[in-house]
Each structure stands twice: as C-alpha cells, then as structure tokens.
C-alpha cells in the first residue's frame, strides 16, 4: 500500500513539473515579441540612378589593388581615382574641408552649425583585392553596366559604399541641407591588408586632434536571406562588434635527409599532428553578447516551433548550439574559429624537409584575446618540437561591443527599416575585419553595416569572381546614406 501511494505521489509530482514547465515555455513564447520598428512607408529620394551607376562604373575602372608590399602597389591608380572623385562630385569637393593623410588617405569634414554636438564619422576604403581575369563574365576592372548590374572588383567591397557616400553628400548639398552636427568622412587605402597606412594614420590624426564622435559607421555586415533558419524575410545584420584576428606560425625542425630512410615522424608529420590536435579541440561556443542579441531580435520573427525554442534558450540551449555549429556562418558567430591556411615543407618529393612551417588563422570572439588564444594553442599542441610564434601579419584583439540601446544604433535601425521595409534588423558580430578596428577609442558607438543585398551564391562574390551590384540595390545604398545623415545631423 505504501509503495502504491509513493508511486501515485511520484506521478503527481512529475505531472506537476510537466505542467509548470509547459506553462513557463508557453508564457515565455507568448511574451517573446518582435523588436522590429514599425514604419509607415518606404523612404525614397529622387536620385538619377542611371547617372549614379555611371559614376560608380567609372570608379571601378581604377585598379586600386592594395598589397602588404608597398612596392607592388600602383599608386597612380589611387591618384587617378581621387582626381575622378573630385571631378565627379564638384559640390562635395568645394564644400568640404579635405585633408590628405599619408599621401592617399582622404579625410573630408563638413562643419555643422552646433559645436556642442559631437560629430559623426562615415568610413569606406578605396582599395580592392586582386582579381584574376579568368572566369569573369565581365572583366573585373571594366565597370560594365549590363543586365541591371554594375560589374567590377569593388562594386560590393567597398567602392559601392565609397561612391554612395559621395552621392549622398552631393545630393544633400544640392538640396540645401545644412548639418547641425559635423560630418567626417574617411577613406583609407589599404583596408584589405590591415589598414595600417590608411585608416590607422587617419585615426591617429583624429586622436591627436582630440575628436570624439557620437557614432562611427562603416562596412561590415549586409542584408541576406536564407542564412538564418525559419526567418523568411531578408535580414539586415548590423555588426556591433568585430572579431579579433590572429595568425600563428607553427615551425618544426630536424636534420632532414633522404626520404628513403624517414624517421617515425617528419617535420611535416609533426605539424600535421599538431594541426589535427587543434581541429579536434575547438574553442567552446558562447551564446553571449552579439550572438545572444542576434536571436533576441530574430527569434520573434521565426516560425513555430523555432520561436518557442529561441524564447526558451534556458532550456533548449544545447539544442540551439548544436544546430548553429552545423553551419560555418553561424558557427563562426558563436566561437573563436581555427583555420589552417598555409603549409610549407620540402621543395622536392624525395627530400625530408629540415624545416616545415604552417600558418593557422584564428578569428577571436569577444572574451578571447591574442594572448589567451596563443596560450591555449600551446596547451593543446603540447609538443616541444613545435615552435609557436605570431605570423608576420596584422593582428588585433576583438573590438569592444557597441550598445544596441545607444542613439546611434537606434537611428541606424530606423534608417534601415524605412529604406528597406521588407527586411528585419538584427545585431551581430562582424566575422571579417574592417577599418573600424583602428578607430576604437574615438567613439563607444561603432557600427558596421551596408544595405547590400547578398543572397545565396551572391556571397561568393566577396573577393571572388563576377563581383557586381544591382542598380536598384545601389539606389537603396544612396537612399540609406541620405536618410541616415539627415537623421544624425538634421
């Protein structure tokens, strides 16, 4: 009898727990409401898109390719682009104060009427990555306009941004706009190789002047669709931070010799084993900071049962992390990543390499540092035969995380929703590096976003072949900058 009563009590307790659990899940799901701003109508300005596309086309013809080795850079192309800018945007050229920093870095200043208001800073870069001509539908520096697109290296990254900023300034000047808040615009010329001679020098000048900005805006993330499960509308991803960047060089040395009498492990084998250890001991995932904010914004826009799952991350956290780590894009948003990228051994197939080297690239999530990552790598490899040292390239810790409650983010959010009312907005971390890293300390509010629509295979155009932007999307970019500056400085 006692056993029967105990069994009944256990059943009742389990049932009560299930009811309580179901109630909590239901309440959290019901109160997991949209964070999207309501907009009345789409904002659009009377822009001559054909002429704007023609000016972008002209900018794409300049082969402004940057390189770690300055002797490999054709700086006449940068000089040509800057001369083209001055002629294409005469009102901007005559209205703004212009400073040239380190020969090719450009800084424009449009003074506002209220000196008590902190200025804002807009960023873009003039340089592009190399573009082999094979495989392109239109040659990479042709600037061809065809099928409703402007084609060429830099259309997306980042001359589209640079030229749309200038289209904005020219439009506002012609329209009689008088900014209350000063507007600074900075164009670096070596972002693709770390920005040390362009953005870093411009930022250094601004720091010397003691200028603090209300907010800073640059490239970084974009509008995409189909990348986040169960979210049907396009998503405008606004990066409120950027991952750190570190490459470590692994070195193994031995006596070398003939491959006919190999040791148990060659230097290549030693490094291969070390890399295998790293790839089998990935950094832990962290659903905090921008990663948590991303799904606070997107979770309410998801279809059921995804909405229920993300509304109750306290319960379904392990399930969510398992799903996110299955995709390279979302996996990179929630952990420090490990990417072996370079390997070098012997120059001949029958010679044991006396020295082998490998380079492993890490993209650091906020909370990790270059020092902590290096220490973890030493611990995981745990092999005195492997020397671990920084690779001779640019490196940086993750940036601070900018607030989504700040005025600068709220204005950006409103601007995106009014220019592109079909999208939903969500904060995220930038997976790639930007010039923003050099401007840390000049503002607590740094945001990395361009309203470029990159869906599916379009993502392959970034540093890939057939880079192009639709004329319609380019118009959205110009409208975005006009509205953003109108709100920030009106």
Q: What is the set of active-site residues?
A: 127, 191
CA gap 131, 160 in Å, rounded: 17
Phi then psi dihedrals of residue 80, to 5 deg: -65, -40
CA gap 480, 178 in Å, rounded: 18
CA 38, 42, 43 angle in degrees (round to 5)? 115
Alpha carbon distances (Å) from 93 to 221, 289, 489: 29, 41, 19
What is the sign of the dihedral through the CA atoms of 78, 81, 87 and 90? negative
Instruction: Yes or no: say if 354 and 255 are a contact pair by the CB < 8 Å rule.
Output: yes
CA gap 388, 358 in Å, rounded: 10
CA gap 230, 325 in Å, rounded: 16
Nearest Cα neighbor of 485 from 411, 434, 383 is: 411
Question: DSSP letter string over 137-150?
Answer: SS-TTS--EETTEE
């Amino acid at each position: 009898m006692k056993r029967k009563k105990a069994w009944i009590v256990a059943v009742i307790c389990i049932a009560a727990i299930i009811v309580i659990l179901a109630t909590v899940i239901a309440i959290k799901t019901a109160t997991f409401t949209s964070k999207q701003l309501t907009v009345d109508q789409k904002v659009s300005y009377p822009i001559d898109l054909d002429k704007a596309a023609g000016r972008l086309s002209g900018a794409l013809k300049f082969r402004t390719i940057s390189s770690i080795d300055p002797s490999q850079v054709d700086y006449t192309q940068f000089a040509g682009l800057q001369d083209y800018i001055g002629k294409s945007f005469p009102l901007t050229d005559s209205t703004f104060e212009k400073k040239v920093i380190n020969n090719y870095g450009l800084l424009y200043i449009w003074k506002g009427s209220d000196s008590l208001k902190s200025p804002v800073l807009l960023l873009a870069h003039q340089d592009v990555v190399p573009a082999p001509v094979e495989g392109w539908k239109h040659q990479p520096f042709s600037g061809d306009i065809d099928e409703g697109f402007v084609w060429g290296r830099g259309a997306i990254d980042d001359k589209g941004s640079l030229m749309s900023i200038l289209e904005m300034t020219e439009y506002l000047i012609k329209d009689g706009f008088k900014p209350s808040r000063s507007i600074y615009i900075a164009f670096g010329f070596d972002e693709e190789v770390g920005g040390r001679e362009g953005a870093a020098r411009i930022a250094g000048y601004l720091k010397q002047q003691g200028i603090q900005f209300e907010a800073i805006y640059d490239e970084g993330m974009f509008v995409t669709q189909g990348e986040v499960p169960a979210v049907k509308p396009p998503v405008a991803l606004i990066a409120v931070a950027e991952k750190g960047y570190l490459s470590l060089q692994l070195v193994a040395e031995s006596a070398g010799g003939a491959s006919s009498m190999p040791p148990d492990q060659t230097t290549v084998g030693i490094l291969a084993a070390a890399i295998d250890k790293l790839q089998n001991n990935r950094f832990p995932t962290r659903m905090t900071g921008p990663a948590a904010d991303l799904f606070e914004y997107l979770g309410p826009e998801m279809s059921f049962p995804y909405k229920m799952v993300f509304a109750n991350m306290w319960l379904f956290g392990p399930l969510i992390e398992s799903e996110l780590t299955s995709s390279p894009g979302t996996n990179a948003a929630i952990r420090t990543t490990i990417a072996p990228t370079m390997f070098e051994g012997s120059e001949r197939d029958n010679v044991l390499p006396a020295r082998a080297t490998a380079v492993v690239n890490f993209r650091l999530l906020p909370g990790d540092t270059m020092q902590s990552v290096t220490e973890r790598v030493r611990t995981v490899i745990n092999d005195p035969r492997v020397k671990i040292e920084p690779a001779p390239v640019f490196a940086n810790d993750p940036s601070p995380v900018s607030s989504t409650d700040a005025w600068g983010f709220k204005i950006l959010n409103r601007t995106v929703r009014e220019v592109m009312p079909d999208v939903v907005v969500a904060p995220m971390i930038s997976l790639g590096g930007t010039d923003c890293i050099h401007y840390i300390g000049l503002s607590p509010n740094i945001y990395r976003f361009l309203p470029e629509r990159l869906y599916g295979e379009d993502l392959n155009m970034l540093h890939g072949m057939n880079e192009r932007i639709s004329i319609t999307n380019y118009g959205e970019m110009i409208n975005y900058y006009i509205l953003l500056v109108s709100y920030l400085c009106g």
